[in-house]
Structure 1
Amino acid sequence: MSFTPVRSLACAAALLMASFSSQATLIINGDFEANTLSSGSWSWMSSTLVDGWDGSNLEIWHGLNGVAAVSGSNFIELNAHGTNQGNWSIFQTFATDIGQQYQFSFYYRARNSSNEQFAVELAGMNWLFDDHTTTGWNHFSNSFVATSSNTTLRFTSLNSGTMGNFIDAVQVSSVPSAQAVPEPASIAAFGLGLLALMGLRRKSRG
């Protein structure tokens, strides 16, 4: 069986695209979709029942009160329903390579009032969030360099009570080196070259 240049080039393109899609998030269940809820409902759960996360209880929402998730159908309320009236905290520990740069992002909004606050801890860095509103999701993104083979991400509410902070679409992914990621112009040129070669091959057949 002959292996034509067009077929070779197509295979190379497929491998190139696969390398981009392989930059998956290191966070397990960052969009909180592992638990199934009916539309317009919520469920209070121990963190032991929520894949990937540890710490305090979580309150998972699925479109309740008209609030739509950013990713999928579910999101969490950090200040979960229950007897605890203090600060709530959930965390996840994931494997990292020392010296490797990572990108971290998530979405957040308030449930009840713009006075709600929560803190995030990651790789020795700390952030305070008190700028969210009840009318829409806010996005946060930052990068960090791993200093340990295991890194912990922690969300902690800073308001007592059981109404507070919505969290969704939590992601951490490695940042490839500049050599490993072709520039967009190079990708475009590669695609144009592939199309041109395919066009010439069709013309020769005609």
Structure 2
Amino acid sequence: MSLVSVRTLLGAATLLAASFSSQATLIVNGDFEENFVASNNWKSFASSAVAGWQGSNIEIWNALNGVIAASGKNFIELNAHGSNVGAWSIFQTFATEVGRDYQLSFYYRARNNNSEAFEVSFAGLTQAMTDHTKAGWSFFSSIFTATAETSTLRFTSLNSGTQGNLIDAINVSALPVPAPTAVPEPATLAAFGAGLLALVGGRRLRRNKAKNSL
């Protein structure tokens, strides 16, 4: 399966986020807006307390340290507050159609330094996100083909500690199924063939008349 991705640093990320959030998404609470966090603050939640998500603790920010969300008010720090066994990782499972194409998109940025990194996996594919920057949100978009009736989207930190990997506006949407190519009905083909034969026969008749008149 091929992977198509676009990653760009965006100075006006909010405007582009709005256009993607308007699409129907299969992700529940991809903006992390369902948990209240006061402005210029953060709060750590068990994943069971964050609608749609499972895995490690989830730390939700609202305009903290001058970072404005790419979409809405809230976003998360993947390397969350509190203890954790193994790498920080959150995931969500949802229904998909085998063989159908889906578009995954999200925004990400560094908190402390540009060496922060995480992996995103979906439909058996894994992409390492290693180009973080503190200067602003970067945008990621990829097209995947579903291989099962359910698919799991997972984000896993590649750096240790409780700081790093800011993520927002996670979206997965099904791409339109191409319309089938129209095939002429047998009656239409028969009528077309009869008309073609009549046209050829008429031309032959005119030619024969022309020869007999010589």
Give the TM-score, by structure 2 length.
0.72
The answer for the alignment partner of 2:177 in structure 1 is 177
The answer for the alignment partner of 1:107 in structure 2 is 107
Separation (CA, whole Å) in 2 of partners of 1:174 and 1:64: 33
Cα RMSD, aligned residues only: 1.7
Structure 1's 124 and 45: CA in aligned 2 closer, same or farther, altered over 3 A?
same
Aligned-residue offset at 1:55: 0.2
Contact kept in structure 2, 1:85 and 1:161, CA below 8 Å: no
Separation (CA, whole Å) in 1 of partners of 2:165 and 2:86: 14
Deviations 1:125-171 (A, max 9, x none): 00001101111000000111111110000000011101110010000
1:1-206 aligned within 5 A: 23-84=23-84, 86-179=86-179
Q: Which runs of 4 or more aligned residues in structure 1 lie more than 6 Å from their structure 2 counterparts after TM superposition?
A: none
SS at match of 2:32: coil
The answer for the alignment partner of 2:207 in structure 1 is none
Contact kept in structure 1, 2:25 and 2:171, CA below 8 Å: yes
Structure 1's 40 and 34: CA in aligned 2 closer, same or farther, altered over 3 A?
same
Contact kept in structure 2, 1:85 and 1:162, CA below 8 Å: no
SS at match of 1:38: coil
Structure 1's 23 and 61: CA in aligned 2 closer, same or farther, altered over 3 A?
closer
Paired letter, 2:57 = N
Separation (CA, whole Å) in 1 of partners of 2:22 and 2:114: 38
Paired letter, 2:92 = Q
Contact kept in structure 2, 1:94 and 1:151, CA below 8 Å: yes
Separation (CA, whole Å) in 1 of partners of 2:173 and 2:38: 30
Give the TM-score, by structure 1 length.
0.74
Separation (CA, whole Å) in 2 of partners of 1:134 and 1:105: 19
SS at match of 1:168: strand
Unaligned 5+ segments in structure 1 are: 1-20, 181-206
Contact kept in structure 2, 1:86 and 1:159, CA below 8 Å: no
Deviations 1:21-59 (A, max 9, x none): 995100000010010111111001100000000000010
Structure 1's 134 and 39: CA in aligned 2 closer, same or farther, altered over 3 A?
same
Unaligned 5+ segments in structure 2 are: 1-20, 181-214
Contact kept in structure 2, 1:86 and 1:161, CA below 8 Å: no
| Identity in percent | 61
Paired letter, 1:27 = I
How many residues align structurally?
160
Paired letter, 1:169 = A
Aligned-residue offset at 1:178: 3.6
